[in-house]
Structure 1
Amino acid sequence: MELSPRPTRVAAGVAANHPATAEAGLRILRAGGTAADAAVAAVLATCVAETIYTGLGGGGFATYFDAASGSVTCLDFFVSVPGTDGDRQAGPMIAVDVFFGGMPQVYSIGGASVAVPGVPAGCGEVHRRWGRLPWADLVEPALGLARTGVALPPAHARTLGSCAPALAHGEGAAFYAPRGNLLQGGDLLFHPGLASALEGLAAEGPALFYTGSIASLIVDTVRAGGGALGPIDLAAYRVLETPVDHATLGSYRVRARHDLNRTVDTIAALPRGLPDQSRPARAVALAAALRDRGRQKIGDTTNVSVVDTEGNACVITTTMGLGAAVWLPGLGINMNSMLGEGELITDDLSPGVRMSSNMCPLVVIDAAGELAVAAGSAGASRIRTALVHTLLGVLVDGVDTPDAIARPRFHVVDDTVHAEPGCPGDELAALSEAGWIVNQWPDVDHYFGGVTAVGAGGAAGDPRRDGVGLLLT
């Protein structure tokens, strides 16, 4: 697979799934912060502006590219299974039906679905390793947003409509349906008390959530809801460095963690002659590589991608599942529901074990060792699909990053290809002739992922999530 590397150096910028998130990251870049500084500030902003997808009670992963050394590091700050205290058994979860693409899917929420959160610790570790600005400076953009509230983008409102049985459950109704009706695009999303939590985070650092005053509140609140999470679970939580996987795509190297959905393996499995194939033939080969056995969960996830002026990159993906509807009193923080996500429950789970995830923040390095793309995606089992489609657009077809993200995608579940509107008819015909069942969706939908990337042709967020990309000028 011979691909000619694109010579243009990647410009400094931020890509995110909310304008306020991207602005927070760009503000830090302008202040002289590193890619890590800006990514942390953007992630903290997501915990205010994108609470439909993520929050301080969630977990995630970070991938960092150091331009000077060419090294890539992946950090795991995903959630851990609680129960190491050994003094509490979890009660029953609360089943909720979420309709997605016209199909009901069962999720479980409540205190028993809450795993040990990692977002505060992860942000702290990224800053400790690669940050330059003071910690409080990185919290400040999110704090400002928390004091005023943030406009809800229309795409986020559509996600809320799908996920309302979990998000607007119980106390969540006060935030997401404050007048008895779900928030619509342009409405103000505001969480009373969240500013107080961020003020504490700025002053005390991430330890506030693990050994400080919020730690005891987390334990009391989760246990009151039937969960098993205890003080030892929180105090023992650590960010892990995880092995970096790689795959070759022509002259490029894709670097990322080995995720549950095998993104890097999928790229490695693409035929070497893929660029020389016709688009219909390539679609059939891609569908075979993407075949995904039965996973079609929604997932509330978001991603930020940042490149700084020195060519360093930091990509961070975070999630809280659908959210447990377990809100920390007076602080506006929803806890994660990862133990209620059926596709993440594996046979090896026991107290203290880190859960697996489909999230795959990645970087692409060219033959000269320079950064070509920094990207990640939301979308649960469609994360892999969205990333592979985007990389093929940029690296194989020579499409600029914004256009590659916006192009129609298809996702494979068993023997069915779910296709967005606009997928070329000759490609769909070739898939059908090859034996695939083709399900053409009537509308563009957040189901097909939410890529954010900084690469050739600029920075871009996914239009399926009303994402934006901002360049440092």
Structure 2
Amino acid sequence: MVVSAHPEASRVGMEIMRKGGNAYDATVATQFALAVVFPVAGNIGGGGFTVFRSATGETGTLDYRETAPVAASETMYQDSAGNVVNGLSTDSHLAVGVPGTVDGMVKLHQKLGRLPWADLVQPAIDLARNGVVLTQKEAEGLNRSREAFIKNNKHTPYLVSEQTWQAGDTLRHENLARTLERVRDRGREGFYAGETAELLIKEMKRGGGIISEQDLADYTSVWRKPLEGSYKGYKVISMPPPSSGGIALLQLLEMVQPYNLREYGWQSAEEVQVITEAERRVYADRATYLGDPGFVDVPVNGLLDKEYLKSRMSTMRMDKATPSSQVKAGELPFYESDQTTHFSIVDPAGNAVSTTTTLNGAYGSKVVVEGAGFLLNNEMDDFSAKPGVPNMFGLVGGKANAIAPGKRMLSSMTPTILEKEGKLYMVVGTPGGSTIITSVFQTIVNVLEHDMTMQQAVAAPRFHHQWLPDEIQHEPNAIPADVRAILESKGYKLEQRNPYGRVNAILILPNGKLEAGADPRGDDAAAGF
């Protein structure tokens, strides 16, 4: 089974497995297909994380997160007075981190793949050349970003239509097809050297970006040991730093474990309060301690220590809210876009892959490499432009996540796999910026504590707290009105927001069948056999 953000990408991954490919082959094919059919977040100009568990129980993770260019500096987004310049880390050529996706897919295939590389890239080339029929959501997304595409490029990118895009229009990606052919024929060199690299460097020079030939040549993805924890007998396998996701997820699960969420009931006042107070403390830790382990000493063991987490929750009182300590004056409005995408895969042998991949903002920096047809990320915004100043997701960071050449920016991506009694149980993840961690956490709780099916757990309305701003953000249908009133009487501030996240998950049922959860908030779809 493949569950991804787009029916065509899910189909491509499934067909690869039908032809004898394994979950890792399907990951490569799905990733490249998403770069074509889901340009808002699918990418070759971004990066991501993969968590895997083999059929024999071996686990691992691959980090192909973008890196800061060699010419990057800690104060590069500040003016001479030390103020952060609005838009520089999000809407410019200067916002782009060195892309990692292609290197990551090459490394994944070399180590774990089975089918020939060319067979895995070809379906994306076919989709790019033949064109993709736009859904309503995709047409609206392209139209919404039209002005930004024009403003952030020196040429008029092919994603801009003379008229507005309509559902049912066909979008063809001619230059992207040629770029993917170079990747098909030359592997890593097809992206990080030769014509593609030349076009990317030209684009950088045209718009004042700082990625160099050396940055591209030096980029390498990293195999990392997964973080592992447990929740009521289930083993949880997730992503280590530079993702904050795995640590935060394991902290949340450990903090709520002593409370009887099942007895409280789904989105009851007690459950919402316990989860909120745990989330508040976890995001405070995230802002202070987490960064790229190649540059800062991340105290993983301390943050996951059971006694430490118990002490963090000891200050919680059920009769009233614990206010978040104020670290800055005034707060930016919270911004959220579906800038990331997640897919989950299980193959016939039982190998499982959980992959979250991103451009950061919707369509990344909106910069399209002229002649190469792919979008570039605005991942540099995930660094702390200045300690204590929020990024586009309202997240604050400290020195641990300061910009440095070659450093990987902190992420919230939380691709995760669960085991039950030594067997594969769940594959889960989502996009959603700072809400990724809480969405994955609540989906897991929905299944384990509230006996939801995978689809129910994914579709269920969600809520979120991230320390600052000090408010419970909730989707329109989340938290019943009477529960909201109880929480407000205890001093909680509640803010309704648009639906967020696109959780894509697979549950392995006791009879061995696979049950999909494809998020109805998007055009997400499952394909299986």
TM-score range with shorter-chain normalisation?
0.7 to 0.9
Alignment of 1:446-461 (within 5 A): 448-456=500-508, 458-461=515-518
Structure 2: distance between partners of 1:141 and 1:196: 13
Decide whether the 8 Å contact of 2:47 with 2:66 is kept in 1: yes
Deviations 1:379-421 (CA, angstroms, capped at 9, x unpaired)? 1111112111211122222211111101111122433222223
- Aligned partner letter, 1:246: E
Structure 2: distance between partners of 1:346 and 1:166: 30
1:398 pairs with one of 442, 451, 465: 451
2:7 pairs with one of 8, 19, 22: 19
- Residue 165 of structure 1, CA deviation: 5.1
- Aligned residue number for residue 412 of structure 1: 465
Cα distance change of structure 1 residues 203 and 345 upon mapping to structure 2, 3 Å threshold:
farther
Decide whether the 8 Å contact of 2:184 with 2:190 is kept in 1: no
Deviations 1:19-62 (CA, angstroms, capped at 9, x unpaired)? 11111111111111111111111111110011111311101111
Matched, 1:436 2:492: yes
Task: Please give the secondary structure, in 2, of the residue aligned with 1:377.
Answer: coil
Matched, 1:324 2:348: no
Matched, 1:234 2:273: no
Decide whether the 8 Å contact of 1:271 with 1:285 is kept in 2: no
- Aligned residue number for residue 289 of structure 1: 278
Structure 2: distance between partners of 1:33 and 1:427: 49
Decide whether the 8 Å contact of 1:121 with 1:206 is kept in 2: yes
Matched, 1:119 2:101: yes
- Aligned partner letter, 1:450: R
- Aligned residue number for residue 4 of structure 1: none
User: TM (normalized to structure 2)?
Assistant: 0.77
Decide whether the 8 Å contact of 2:91 with 2:152 is kept in 1: no
Cα distance change of structure 1 residues 284 and 186 upon mapping to structure 2, 3 Å threshold:
farther
Cα distance change of structure 1 residues 226 and 249 upon mapping to structure 2, 3 Å threshold:
same
Q: What is the aligned residue count?
A: 442
- Aligned partner letter, 2:491: G
Deviations 1:102-121 (CA, angstroms, capped at 9, x unpaired)? xxxx9622221111100101
Structure 1: distance between partners of 2:358 and 2:215: 19
- Residue 173 of structure 1, CA deviation: 5.8
- Aligned partner letter, 2:69: P
- Aligned residue number for residue 403 of structure 2: 349
Matched, 1:47 2:45: no
Matched, 1:270 2:256: yes
Task: Please give the secondary structure, in 1, of the residue aligned with 2:494.
Answer: strand
- Aligned residue number for residue 338 of structure 1: 379
Structure 2: distance between partners of 1:163 and 1:429: 38
Task: Please give the secondary structure, in 2, of the residue aligned with 1:465.
Answer: coil
Decide whether the 8 Å contact of 2:418 with 2:427 is kept in 1: yes
Structure 1: distance between partners of 2:423 and 2:139: 38
Query: Which sits farther off after the overlay, 208-217 or 122-131?
Result: 208-217
User: TM (normalized to structure 1)?
Assistant: 0.86
Task: Please give the secondary structure, in 1, of the residue aligned with 2:472.
Answer: strand
Structure 2: distance between partners of 1:389 and 1:175: 39
Structure 2: distance between partners of 1:278 and 1:127: 44
Alignment of 1:418-429 (within 5 A): 418-425=473-480, 426-429=482-485
Decide whether the 8 Å contact of 1:90 with 1:227 is kept in 2: no
Matched, 1:298 2:336: yes
- Residue 85 of structure 1, CA deviation: 10
Highest RCO, 1 vs 2 (Cα 8 Å, sep ≥ 6): 1
Alignment of 1:136-147 (within 5 A): 136-147=118-129
- Aligned residue number for residue 387 of structure 2: none
Cα distance change of structure 1 residues 127 and 326 upon mapping to structure 2, 3 Å threshold:
same
Cα distance change of structure 1 residues 162 and 249 upon mapping to structure 2, 3 Å threshold:
farther
The gaps in structure 2 that reach 5 residues or longer are 285-330, 383-390, 509-513
Decide whether the 8 Å contact of 1:152 with 1:189 is kept in 2: yes
Decide whether the 8 Å contact of 1:139 with 1:202 is kept in 2: yes
Give the CA RMSD over aligned residues.
Answer: 2.7
Cα distance change of structure 1 residues 324 and 421 upon mapping to structure 2, 3 Å threshold:
closer
1:74 pairs with one of 43, 57, 61: 61
Task: Give the fraction of aligned pairs with identical amino acids, expressed as a percent.
Answer: 30
Structure 1: distance between partners of 2:216 and 2:15: 32
Structure (1 or 2) with the greater strand fraction: 1
Q: Larger Rg: 1 or 2?
A: 2
Query: Which sits farther off after the overlay, 302-311 or 261-270?
Result: 261-270
- Residue 196 of structure 1, CA deviation: 0.6
- Aligned partner letter, 2:519: D
Structure 2: distance between partners of 1:431 and 1:90: 39
